[in-house]
Amino acid sequence: MSVPQTPHLFGASTTAAEVIDGVDLHGRRAVVTGASSGIGVETARALAAAGADVTLAVRDTDAGARVVARLEAELPPKSGQLTVGRLDLADRSTVAAFVAAWHGPLDILVNNAGVMAPPKLIRTPDGRETQFAVNHLGHFALAVGLHPALAAADGARIVSVASIGHLFSPVVFDDLDYRYRPYDPWTSYGQSKTANILFAVGAAERWADDGITANALMPGNIADTSLARHMDMQQVADFIASGELALPPQKTVEQGAATSVLLAASPSVEGIAGRYFEDCAPSEPVAERAGAVAGVAPYALDPENAARLWTVSEALVDQSSTLPT
């Protein structure tokens, strides 16, 4: 598989501010999910600093309002406007309400929010396993709902924040919700992150004629983030010690947001779609998980997997009845 190259010398240590330097986004509108903490805040900061009007789509609107107040005090003059919208990706009604409230074109959608490795199985109110529901299905419903707004923009971009964790599992279509196999927090996380990549592959294929590009990314190993709020840290320590989990070097939050910002706004990736990036560059395929601290599994970029996931996701999002809990 040929891998597209980006012309700029960005890399693992590049920050979001460095990526956005010299980019003018005035007149553009962006939505960043999960923008009340971590790389979501830094992604919103960078886009607004370049002039984009950014909506922080968050579960806790009070926390979002505090972020807006802080960023407004720190951003340079002529930055874009910041607003807050309520979005709980586990609650389909809030996704529908957010979509219904949106008017006009949307230039950038950053699907950034997520949950990682809760130690016990949790289901959403409609019976879905939480990681798959929040990390993938909620974002899928949001993007599909906002598709008319994205199509109305001139060259809209969708950014799907995935993870090297996708190497822990492909999408297991026959048991998405762990009803037939024992729940495992890491294969569940891996499945949801593979789904994030496959969504980008599917959206890039389906929406190309609308001028929409979609890509996925690994932000990096970032300690200062709320993503791990549900995790059992002793379990993580044991997992690392066992050799089952390999991690790349740590990044700062500012560095972690760089690849998201690159895909959202940089001219250097104009026209690139359906790819998985890390360290501000397209990833190379890997043949197995063992020891890998970078790269993308072939199953995560497979067009047939992407098409199947899209069909399944449409059915799950449209489902009116709930599964047993």
Give the catalytic positions in this structure: 189
* Sequence letter at residue 306: A
Query: How is residue 85 annotated by DSSP?
Result: E
Where is 31: in which H helix or E strand?
Answer: strand 29-33
- Give the orientation angle of helix 38-49 with respect to helix 258-265, to 10 degrees: 40
- Asked whether the beta carbons of 106 and 158 are under 8 A apart, the reply is no
Three-point CA angle 149, 270, 11, nearest 5°: 120
Spatial CA neighbour of 129 closest among 189, 197, 169: 189
DSSP 105-173: ---EEEE-------SS--B-TTS-BHHIIIIIIIHHHHHHHTHHHHHHSSS-EEEEE--GGGGG----G
Spatial CA neighbour of 79 closest among 99, 98, 54: 54
CA distance 149 to 68: 24
